[in-house]
């Protein structure tokens, strides 16, 4: 509590408003936009980090004591209290620790809502209503607000009340039914496609609705789910079912639309290649010295090659096992045929190209010294994104944020006495 009072007094002495970068010649596109990040774990925090990277003032509202559960309970422990996972989804944010279960905590929340443009939450459906922080309640305070709820399965329908993680979304969307090898045990996508995908869809919808609200003065409620994100990613797979009536099955690394397009065996392991159209197919036969395959009626067209994929790959691998993966990748690329090495994450991030594209950022952090973050996946060349703030400590900015909404030390003391900052 005395920390928050000190913070409030210091902030009052040096008032500042986040979101107006002074260093860039042009401000970031979302400078001056205020986002309330009322979220935990991945989908919500990731979405808000993207908005923060684009310049928004992201205020992360967390329960006192634990904060976002990913700080302590999930991910890999570091020197300080926060996990590496948390540190990778929360840069460019400020943290306000308030107890939304208390009347006093909610007063602060409602005050913040008045100046907010976008709110993102991803608690179990019903939690925000129980906290009296749901859309209907806050809309009355700020009709311009764009309010995004992220959940496992959406806010309506028979599964709406279920809690959900990426794994449930991958299983229940059908994604796992096309992942892995035919007849093998269940396999999920190695990375959380439903979570990150949902975060991306939520972000694009929030930005569109924000533009709409600027034009009309009216915000809206956005209902995003991990389940629907996973379904939305299933374009090729459901196309097979809707187009041909056959149920798509897992194909390992192969593709249901084209062949050859998969990982293939070489002299020293595997590499990936794709000759997905007729031009590339004929070039491939030429560069690997197999004119017989180009002339073989079993492989004449893409549908023929798909129908005979197993024997096609057997034939290709008879040649591919004569040289190393690196040799083939080089030879295929020289002929303009897409090919690549199968790297581990360290090899990919530390590759000359990964480094050139700045996909690892080393951020100065008060507890960790340097902390590594995944770099910006797209680069805005006119207004390059920056790490303006390291991931915040729990409640690090409580005082300055309270001060910004006009609360002085005595008001903060009163809130504290009424349980606003107690776990």
Ligand X SMILES: CC(C)(COP(=O)(O)OP(=O)(O)OC[C@H]1O[C@@H](n2cnc3c(N)ncnc32)[C@H](O)[C@@H]1OP(=O)(O)O)[C@@H](O)C(=O)NCCC(=O)NCCSC(=O)C(=O)O
Site for ligand X in 100-159 (CB under 6 A): 100-101, 122-124, 127, 131, 150-152
Q: Which of 55, 154, 164, 391 binds ligand X (CB under 6 A)?
A: 164
Asked if 61 interacts with ligand X (CB under 6 A), we say yes
Both tokens of residue 333? Answer: 């690329």
Nearer to ligand X, 127 or 333 (CB): 127
Q: Which of 28, 30, 35, 43 binds ligand X (CB under 6 A)?
A: 43
Q: How far is the CB of 19 from ligand X (least distance, A)?
A: 22
Site size with ligand X, rule: CB under 6 A:
25
Asked if 42 interacts with ligand X (CB under 6 A), we say yes
Nearer to ligand X, 126 or 252 (CB): 126
Asked if 67 interacts with ligand X (CB under 6 A), we say no
166 as an active site residue: the answer is no
Asked if 219 interacts with ligand X (CB under 6 A), we say no
Choice among 195, 223, 268, 304 that is catalytic: 195
What span, in angstroms and rounded, lies between the C-alpha atoms of 130 and 355? Answer: 46
Asked if 395 interacts with ligand X (CB under 6 A), we say no
CA distances from 360 to 283, 356, 377, 405 (A): 36, 10, 10, 36
Asked if 165 interacts with ligand X (CB under 6 A), we say yes
Q: How far is the CB of 100 from ligand X (least distance, A)?
A: 4
Q: Which of 261, 247, 224 is nearest to 174 (CA)?
A: 247
Asked if 202 interacts with ligand X (CB under 6 A), we say no
Q: How far is the CB of 257 from ligand X (least distance, A)?
A: 29
Chain positions contacting ligand X, by CB under 6 A = 41-43, 61-63, 98-101, 122-124, 127, 131, 150-152, 163-166, 192, 195, 226
* Catalytic site positions: 195
């Amino acid at each position: 509590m005395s920390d928050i009072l000190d913070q409030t007094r210091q902030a009052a002495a040096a008032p500042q408003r986040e979101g107006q970068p002074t260093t860039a010649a042009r401000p970031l596109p979302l400078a001056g936009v205020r986002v309330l990040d009322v979220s935990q774990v991945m989908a919500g925090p990731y979405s808000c980090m993207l908005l923060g990277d684009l310049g928004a003032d992201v205020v992360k509202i967390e329960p006192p004591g634990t904060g976002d559960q990913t700080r302590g309970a999930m991910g890999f422990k570091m020197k300080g209290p926060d996990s590496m996972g948390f540190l990778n989804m929360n840069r460019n944010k400020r943290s306000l620790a308030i107890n939304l279960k208390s009347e006093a905590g909610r007063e602060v929340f409602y005050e913040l809502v008045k100046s907010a443009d976008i709110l993102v939450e991803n608690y179990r459906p019903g939690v925000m209503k129980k906290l009296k922080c749901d859309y209907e309640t806050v809309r009355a305070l700020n009709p311009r607000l764009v309010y995004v709820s992220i959940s496992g399965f959406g806010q309506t329908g028979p599964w709406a009340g279920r809690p959900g993680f990426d794994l449930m979304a991958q299983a229940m969307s059908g994604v796992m039914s096309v992942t892995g090898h035919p007849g093998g045990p269940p396999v999920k996508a190695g990375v959380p496609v439903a979570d990150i995908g949902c975060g991306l869809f939520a972000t694009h919808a929030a930005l569109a609705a924000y533009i709409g609200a600027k034009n009309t003065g009216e915000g809206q409620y956005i209902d995003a789910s991990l389940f629907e994100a996973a379904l939305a990613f299933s374009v090729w797979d459901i196309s097979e079912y809707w187009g041909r009536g056959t149920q798509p099955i897992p194909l390992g690394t192969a593709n249901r639309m084209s062949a050859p397009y998969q990982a293939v065996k070489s002299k020293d392991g595997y590499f990936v290649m794709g000759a997905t159209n007729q031009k590339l197919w004929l070039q491939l036969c030429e560069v690997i010295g197999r004119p017989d395959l180009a002339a073989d009626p079993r492989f004449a067209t893409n549908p023929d090659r798909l129908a005979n994929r197993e024997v096609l790959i057997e034939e290709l691998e008879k040649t591919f096992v004569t040289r190393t993966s690196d040799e083939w990748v080089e030879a295929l690329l020289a002929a303009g045929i897409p090919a690549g090495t199968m790297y581990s994450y360290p090899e990919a991030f530390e590759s000359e190209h990964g480094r050139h594209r700045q996909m690892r950022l080393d951020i100065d952090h008060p507890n960790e010294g340097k902390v590594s973050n995944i770099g910006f996946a797209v680069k805005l060349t006119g207004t390059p994104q920056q790490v303006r703030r390291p991931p915040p400590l729990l409640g690090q900015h409580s005082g300055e944020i309270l001060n910004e909404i006009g609360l002085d030390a005595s008001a903060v003391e009163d809130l504290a006495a009424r349980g606003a900052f107690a776990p």
